Amino acid sequence: RGLAGEDLAGRAVEGEDVAALEDPIGAAALADHGDLAARRLDAQPGAGEGMASGDVVNTAARLQSAAPVNGILVDETTKVVVSGLTGREGRFHSLRNRDYGTKIVAGVTPGKGGQDVEGIPVLNTVAEAVSEQGANTAMIFVPAPFAADAIYEAVDAGIETVICITEGVPAHDMLRIHSYVSNRGVTLIGPNCPGALSPGKANVGIIPAEIFAAGNIGLVSRSGTLTYQIGHELTQMGLG
């Protein structure tokens, strides 16, 4: 847990200067955070038993190298390539997202390159969408047996954020994908998810954006329908 959520005055080791920790995302703060964590461990009787000194150093190093988490996944700069655009669900939701204002720059269906869906160009590969249309986000609507390959293709093409709507993707496929994606700094949402929404800016997925309002509250849920319910209630309360 970061020091930003603690009472520094009450939790600091006696004599420790915690003034530098007031900026929890600054590089200096993270360095001090690591040093303080190591000193706290030394100060607690028995806390370091069975733990090598190298473990403490490694823990401090991980804290120092931690990067701030950006919770805004899609916005007005998002350029979406849709894997499965020519399918029924992919077409319906992609056009709906475009009507909302989301930049849907291309679709991908192997063998159908050169076609278009109401003005959205269809390409054969995600790599083409990245190089020709500047796509930086992938939305995946392909059937479950092919969803894993679609995720791999998007990651290999240099996509920064992959949002997989498809349900029923085998768990073993996702275990391998998680390892593959996490080593490449790619953000993966899903599979079996409703997508991501920044009200008034971009909607990538199947979320009914009209019941959400812009504001300073972020909503994350394991349930799509509960996400809609809470979003609607926040809007009714004048929040967003």
Provide CB contacts within 8 A for 196, sequence distance 6+: 73, 74, 161, 163, 189, 203, 204, 205, 207
Amino acid (one-letter) located at 206: I
DSSP string, 203-240: EEES--GGG---SS-----S-HHHHHHHHHHHHHTT--
Contact 132, 239 (CB under 8 A): no
Residue 64, Cα to own-chain centre: how many angstroms?
Answer: 22
- Classify residue 21 by burial, with Cβ atoms within 10 Å: 0-12, 13-18, 19+: buried
Instruction: Specify whether the CB–CB gap between 198 and 175 falls below 8 A.
Output: no
Tokens of 122: 């269809």
pLDDT computed for residue 71 by the predictor: 75
Is the backbone peptide bond immediately before 143 cis, with ω within 30 degrees of 0?
no
Q: How far is CA 71 from the centre of its chain?
A: 7
> CA angle 231-163-118, nearest 5°?
95
Whole-number pLDDT of residue 39: 43
Tens place of pLDDT per residue across the chain (240 aa)? 344 444 433 433 344 443 443 443 344 443 444 444 444 444 444 444 554 555 555 655 665 555 556 678 999 999 999 999 999 999 999 999 999 999 999 999 999 999 999 999 999 999 999 999 999 999 999 999 999 999 999 999 999 999 999 999 999 999 999 999 988 989 999 999 999 999 999 999 999 999 999 998 999 988 888 999 999 999 999 998
